[in-house]
Structure 1
Amino acid sequence: MHVAVLSYTIRLFGINSLKEKRSLIKGLINEIRTKFNVSICELDLNDSKNWAQIGVAVISSAQDVVDRVVEGITSIIENTDGVQIAEIEREGW
């Protein structure tokens, strides 16, 4: 069994309120959860309009599947308008 635990620190642009941020982050989380069937949530920076931190856990019997899922998640986040990845922390077992 192969596991990857990721933490994405992302910068948000064009957000004027926490309500807008919450809407953007919830949509992003739902899209990733639906497409990849992973465990994902907002971890920290809840009171900041310009920053968010998202945590993801991926489990599979094959390492190449875990790597492809991580690449797909990263791609979705990078291609979301108004979002820039500032830092990615990854642990794997």
Structure 2
Amino acid sequence: MSEDENWRSQAAYDYVDDLTPSELAWEFLRRNPDYRQSYYQLLSSGRLTEETAQEFAQQWGLRFRGRPSQLGTRAADLLDPANRSRHASVHSRAHPGRKYQC
């Protein structure tokens, strides 16, 4: 296991020092087991649309600077707990330079 994969490694969490309050809140929420379960249930239901994504975001207290369609991304990408704040995510690698913020 590399140092970055070790949850006890300080280096794995260095990026947290520079997060804004909303980004830090996202880091806590994306690790919440209830949030993760709820997200994956919605995703596997096949009912994930922009409308249901907005309802889901409202349920969890998420606010976005723009609507997902305005950001040029799928709604699921913004809600995905795999996305880190200001850190390379599974989705941002496909779109270099794009930031996902809540």
TM-score, with structure 1 as normaliser:
0.32
Structure with higher Rg: it is: 2
Q: Quick check: which one's helix share is greater?
A: 2
TM-score using structure 2 length: 0.30
Larger RCO of the pair (alpha carbons < 8 Å, separation 6+): 1
